[in-house]
Amino acid sequence: MSIKSESLDLHKKLQGKLETDVKYHVKSREDLALVYTPGVAAPCLEIKDDTKKAYDYTIKANTILVVSDGSAVLGLGNIGPQAAMPVMEGKSVLFKEFGGVNAFPIVLDTQDTEEIIQTVKNISPGFGGINLEDISAPRCFEIEERLKAMLDIPVFHDDQHGTAIIVLAGLINALKVTGKNKEAKIVVNGAGSAGIAISRLLLKYGMKNVTLVDREGIICSESSNLNWMQKKMLEVTNLSDQKGSLKDALKGADIFIGVSAPNIVDSDMVKSMNDKAIIFAMANPTPEIMPDVAKAAGAMVVGTGRSDFPNQVNNVLVFPGIFKGALKAHAKQITDEMKLKAAEAIASLVGPDRLSADFILPEAFDPAVTECVAAAVEKCAE
Q: What is the pLDDT of residue 75?
A: 79
Residues 100 and 118 in one domain: yes
Last residue of a domain, one of 135, 153, 171: 153
pLDDT digits (tens, 9 = 90+) for 150-208: 999 999 999 999 999 999 999 999 999 999 999 999 999 999 999 999 999 999 999 99
Distance (Å, rounded) from C-alpha 141 to C-alpha 149? 12
> Would you call 294 exposed, middle or buried from its count of C-beta atoms within 10 A (0-12, 13-18, 19+)?
buried
Residues 79, 183 share a domain? no
Q: Confidence class of residue 65 from pLDDT cuts 50, 70 and 90?
A: very high
* Residue 59 CB-density burial (10 A; 0-12 exposed, 13-18 middle, 19+ buried): middle
Distance, in Å, from the CA atom of 149 to the CA atom of 187, rounded to the nearest integer, reads: 31
Tens of pLDDT, residue by residue over 88-98, are 999 999 999 99
CB 284 within 8 A of CB 306: yes
Residue 382: pLDDT over 90: no
Edge-to-edge strand list for the sheet holding 217-218: 217-218, 209-214, 185-189, 255-258, 278-281, 301-304
Q: Identify whether residues 90 and 199 lie together within a single domain.
A: no
Query: Which residue among the candidates 12, 23, 36, 231 is catalytic per the annotation?
Result: 36
Task: Tell me, yes or no, whether 112 and 209 share the same domain.
Answer: no
- Residue 3 pLDDT level (bands cut at 50, 70, 90): confident
Q: How many CB atoms lie within 10 A of CB 21?
A: 6
Taking all residues of the chain, what is their mean pLDDT, rounded to a whole number?
96
pTM: 0.95
The catalytic position among 60, 91, 185, 324 is 91
CB 257, CB 301: distance < 8 Å: no
Mean pLDDT (whole number) for 123-135: 97
Clarify whether residues 233 and 330 are in a common domain: yes
pLDDT of residue 284: 87
Q: Indicate if 60 and 131 belong to the same structural domain.
A: yes
Q: Residue 281 region, left (φ>0) first, then alpha (ψ -120 to 50), else beta?
A: beta
55 is catalytic: no
pLDDT band at 1 (very low <50, low <70, confident <90, very high): low
Size of the chain in residues: 382
Domain boundary among 153, 182, 215: 153
**What is the number of domains present in the chain?**
2
Task: Using alpha carbons, list the distances in angstroms from residue 253 to 32, 183, 185, 210, 259.
Answer: 66, 11, 5, 10, 17
Q: pLDDT band at 354, cuts 50/70/90? A: very high
Q: Write the CATH number for 230.
A: 3.40.50.720
pLDDT tens digits, residue range 193-251?
999 999 999 999 999 999 999 999 999 999 999 999 999 999 999 999 999 999 999 99
Residue-wise pLDDT tens digits, 264-316: 999 999 999 999 999 999 998 899 999 999 999 999 999 999 989 999 999 99
Q: Are residues 86 and 188 in the same domain?
A: no
Active site residue 36: yes
Name the band, by pLDDT with cuts 50, 70 and 90, for residue 74: confident
Shared-domain flag, residues 240 and 270: yes
Do 49 and 133 fall within a single domain?
Answer: yes
Query: In which domain, by residue range, is 296 found?
Result: 159-382
pLDDT digit string, tens, across residues 9-40: 999 999 999 999 999 999 999 999 999 999 99
Q: Are residues 179 and 115 in the same domain?
A: no
CB 107 within 8 A of CB 35: no
Give pLDDT, residue 140. Answer: 97
The CATH number that applies at residue 57 is: 3.40.50.10380
